[in-house]
Structure 1
Amino acid sequence: MFDGPEPIYVQIAEHLRRQVLDGALAEGDQVMSTTQYATTYRINPATAAKAFAQLVDEGVIYKQRGVGMFVADGARERLREHRRGAFFTDHLDQVLDEARVLGISPDDLVRYIQQKGAGA
């Protein structure tokens, strides 16, 4: 599962963020423990703990002493807002630059987006 070029803890954190964004993990849901992660994915528990610590720092999950880790209230919306802002600079700006180089007009882009949106 964790075979990308990024460090495993980054991949774990991203996997959990994606589950929150997709609704697979709802606010208040308990998250698999670091020990369970380590056992399930055969990784070092410290690696899983580093990912969880990052998510705690971001306010995505919180620890309830003696019980476990849970998805924080408002986590999905916080993640969505952060990703929306990054979407334009990380993705759309590159697409717009390439469209400009290729001579694709803004009207063509809008038409294409509307067609794709209607099919979604």
Structure 2
Amino acid sequence: MKNAFNADKPIYIQVREQIEDQIINQQLKENDQAPSTNQLVNYYKINHATVSKGINQLVEEEILYKKRGIGMFVAEGARKKLLEKRRQSFTEDYIVTLVQEANKLEITNEDILTYIKKVRGDEK
């Protein structure tokens, strides 16, 4: 986990996204115990309410579930849900803008793919 927060985004969202990233990257797998609120508070040295807000959102979205007296655990299908959500967000945040700009510049679909392959290192 990163210990520095970005000033452009609320901290509770960043805490939440870091847990999401651990699930997506399979550092946390289905039914694994997630870091407790107290662990996150101590690690980041931030307010308990801030951490709880991010964790509670993950519980509401059924990414994490609570076992009373034991802790938080990664829900079945959590990674799949997160991938779907992030892919949708990626499309809205990046692809739509990319296509709009490409249309303005008269860049073809083939050219876009060539540029993407070049950036990813797939094409030399």
TM-score, reference length from structure 2: 0.86
State the aligned residue count. Answer: 119
Identity of aligned residues (%): 42
Structure 1 residue identity aligned to 2:78: A
Q: Does 1:81 align with 2:84?
A: yes
Displacement of 1:31: 1.0
* 1:117/1:88 CA distance change after superposition, 3 Å: farther
Q: Which runs of 5+ in 2 are unaligned?
A: none
RMSD, aligned α-carbons: 1.6
Deviations 1:11-39 (A, max 9, x none): 11111111111111111111111111111
Displacement of 1:114: 4.3
Structure 1 residue identity aligned to 2:44: Y
Displacement of 1:101: 1.7
Secondary structure at 2:103's aligned position in 1?
helix
TM-score, reference length from structure 1: 0.89
Stretches of 4+ moved more than 4 A in 1? Answer: none
Partner of 1:21 in structure 2? 24
Deviations 1:35-77 (A, max 9, x none): 1111111001111111110100011101100110011110000
Secondary structure at 1:63's aligned position in 2?
strand
The answer on whether the counterparts of 1:61 and 1:70 sit within 8 Å (CA) in structure 2 is yes
Q: Does 1:118 align with 2:117?
A: no
Partner of 1:39 in structure 2? 42
Return the match for 1:99 from 78, 82, 102.
102
Displacement of 1:91: 1.2
The answer on whether the counterparts of 1:38 and 1:44 sit within 8 Å (CA) in structure 2 is yes
Give the structure with the larger helix fraction.
1
Secondary structure at 1:87's aligned position in 2?
helix
Q: Which stretch shifts more, 9-18 or 110-119?
A: 110-119
The answer on whether the counterparts of 1:2 and 1:8 sit within 8 Å (CA) in structure 2 is yes
Partner of 2:73 in structure 1? 70
Secondary structure at 2:122's aligned position in 1?
helix
